Amino acid sequence: MISKQNIALITGITGQDGSFLAELLLEKGYDVHGTIRRSSVDFRERIVHLEGKPHFHLHYADLGDSMSIIQVMNKVRPTEIYNLAAQSHVQVSFDSPEFTADVDATGVLRVLEAVRQCGLASTCRIYQASTSELYGKVEEVPQSEKT
């Protein structure tokens, strides 16, 4: 059993990977905190079964807003951060490239800077998810660390 001091912060908790990760970490005894964006549409269907559990907490934050990230990190003081939030729709990335870059690239910078500003750099581990789409057309299968 993991001790109470293991505190995970998951961005993108309402997505497929985020919701599965939340379930796994709760089973391992973690305190799990997730960030959700304020939106006129509620996208919580993947995590509704977790709401109300004693070690599951949701916070409003947006990777486009540094202050909201800093506020959540100061409140939660995570020992692990799983940055799964992203603008992941390929067509949207072509239609709105600046928005995509702001969320997917600068958003990572905001998370890292919040860790630094909150004094968590030596006590918090960070997992940064990404996509194979970054690399373009595959020229060799299977892929390796060198391709």
Return the CATH number at 50: 3.40.50.720
Domain presence at residue 13: yes
Tokens of 123: 């006590």
Tokens of 91: 């067509």
Domain presence at residue 68: yes
Domain presence at residue 147: no
Range of 29's domain? 7-131
The DSSP result for 91-127, as a single string, is: HHHHH-HHHHHIIIIIHHHHHHHHHHHTT-TTT-EEE
The H-or-E segment that residue 31 falls in is: strand 31-36
This prediction's pTM:
0.85
Domain presence at residue 30: yes
In the chain (147 residues long), the average pLDDT of successive 10-residue segments reads 77 95 98 88 86 96 96 98 89 89 91 98 94 70 75
Count structural domains, the chain.
Answer: 1
Tokens of 99: 């928005």
Domain presence at residue 2: no
Domain presence at residue 137: no
